Amino acid sequence: MRNQAGFRNQTDWEERAGQWLRDHDSEIFAGLGRFLRLPSISTLPEHAQDVQATARFLAEELQRLGVPRVELIPTAGHPLVYGEWTGVSGRPTVLIYGHYDVQPVDPVDQWKSDPFTPTLKEGDRLYARGASDDKGPVWAHLAALQALLQTAPGRSAGIAGSESPLPINVKLLFEGEEEVSSKHLMEFVNQNAQQLSCDLIVISDTTLYAPGVPAVCYGLRGIVACQIDVFGPAHDLHSGTYGGVVANPVHELSRLLASFHDEQGRVNVDGFYEDVRPLSAAERRSWASLPFDPHALEQEAGVPALAGEPVYTPLERMWARPTLEVNGIWGGFQGSGTKTIIPASAHAKVTCRLVPDQDPVRVLDCLEAAVRQRLPATVRAQFTRMEGGRAWIADPGHPALQKAAAALRQGFGAEPVFIRMGGSIPVVSTFSQALQKPVVLMGFSLPNENFHAPNEHVHLDNLRAGMRTLVHYWLNL
């Protein structure tokens, strides 16, 4: 009854929730400050207790909010925090996912304020590790739910039993290992699809397209990784004594890596592009209409000129073309001065970004075949396969994505755009495949907020707009 009444007056409710958010602004961000003070660096064993404490903090926040079922779910790694408030009949169930772990803070001497002492500077920028990725956006979700709860139509009359005063059914799932592979979360999702069943998954771990331009992201690239080791002599050899008759593994690795791209920046590996889904003319037109300044991108990256396949625009290259990237290389002497050796071995870390419909295993097969075929008999090679995940793509015309765009328009007061992104969020594919429901990616961070780098920060105004967006979204789903 109450809920139906609520929905007749959803515009009122949205206004009340908006007012509540304005009235409780400092309280909300004080809470975010407590969240950001917890150094939940998931990759560093010495912070394992801090990660645990952050999980407990988040679970307690959900309880404080009134979520009737809150669980701290242990894994072989860091715990999951799960909250569930369902029972609203006739309304969709939304699974909200986020992560409470953060990246390391090295090099810490490049931070202008302590990474775990949230510091407000330059107007509305809050500096702290995790402010942008992903504690700020997680907090926006909690604040939006709280605003709806505090201003729910039946609230003044008291809430009966465990019946939810929310306009949607929610399942909240936060992990502490997003920065270290999400391995245990993915296991949990795959093994608990029933518990997590929903109509829609919403994730706020992406960014606006640009300042003032909110975005719904409907595509992410996949990724696959390998290591290539080239072995030559049994041990480093004297380059005077043996130079001229012994193949140098660094030369052979260089030659191999150089062979992976042609002069046009295209990946030169047989079969690499075979399954690539072509860009549609409509999509190319849509992206061509997005504001884009190549010089700004050059400046942001700190490069003298952009590179890549000339037949595609920069956005197309970043969002819809696969890449083969050497992430690291090493071999032989790296000290100061000179050491006259033929190194015994040389090594490269390689990742490929994948697009629909590339298969990670098939891509690695192609790559390994090229390695085996191209290296001469004077050296030996080892090819080690590492983790991978397919690209993810959604239909931007799906109602859940269209309503997300409408919510962003309302929350940010600006026209949203539909974009893809070049990065990979492996859990998106996991959710999509395990739960067989649409995933909506709507982020409140900006691309240049130094996530994973010193001086990470978030614009509080974007978090506020995000809260308004979510309030609108939940009321209008």
Site for a copy of itself in 366-385 (CB under 8 A): 376-380
Q: What is the C-alpha separation between 357 and 1, in angstroms, rounded?
A: 47
**Contact between residue 461 and residue 140 where contact means Cβ atoms under 8 Å apart:** no
Interface with a copy of itself (CB under 8 A), residue from 163, 309, 359, 368: 309
When the beta carbons of 317 and 472 are compared against a copy of itself, the nearer one is 317
Site for a copy of itself in 163-222 (CB under 8 A): 221
Strands (E), 100-257: 119-121, 125-127, 169-175, 200-203, 215-220, 222-231, 237-238
422 interacts with a copy of itself by CB under 8 A: yes
Helix (H) or strand (E) holding 460: helix 460-476
Choices 20-28, 119-127, 211-219, 254-262 (CB under 8 A): range interacting with a copy of itself: 254-262
Q: What is the C-alpha separation between 459 and 137, in angstroms, rounded?
A: 11
Q: How far is CA 182 from CA 300, 352, 465, in A?
A: 29, 19, 28
Phi, psi of 7 (to 5 degrees): -75, -25
Interface with a copy of itself (CB under 8 A), residue from 1, 76, 160, 245: 245
Kindly report the length of the chain. 477
Shortest Å, Cβ 240 to a copy of itself: 3
247 interacts with a copy of itself by CB under 8 A: yes
Instruction: List the structure tokens of 356.
Output: 């629909």
321 interacts with a copy of itself by CB under 8 A: yes
When the beta carbons of 161 and 244 are compared against a copy of itself, the nearer one is 244
Shortest Å, Cβ 449 to a copy of itself: 12
The single-letter code of the amino acid at 287 is: W
When the beta carbons of 68 and 332 are compared against a copy of itself, the nearer one is 332
Shortest Å, Cβ 125 to a copy of itself: 20
Residue 75's CB is within 10 A of a number of other CB atoms, namely 15
Interface with a copy of itself (CB under 8 A), residue from 349, 362, 374, 409: 349
Which position has the token pair 């085996």?
372
Choices 1-9, 69-77, 83-91, 233-241 (CB under 8 A): range interacting with a copy of itself: 233-241
Interface with a copy of itself (CB under 8 A), residue from 246, 290, 369, 414: 246
**Contact between residue 227 and residue 323 where contact means Cβ atoms under 8 Å apart:** no
- Binding marks (x or -) toward a copy of itself, 443..462, rule CB under 8 A? ----x----xx---------
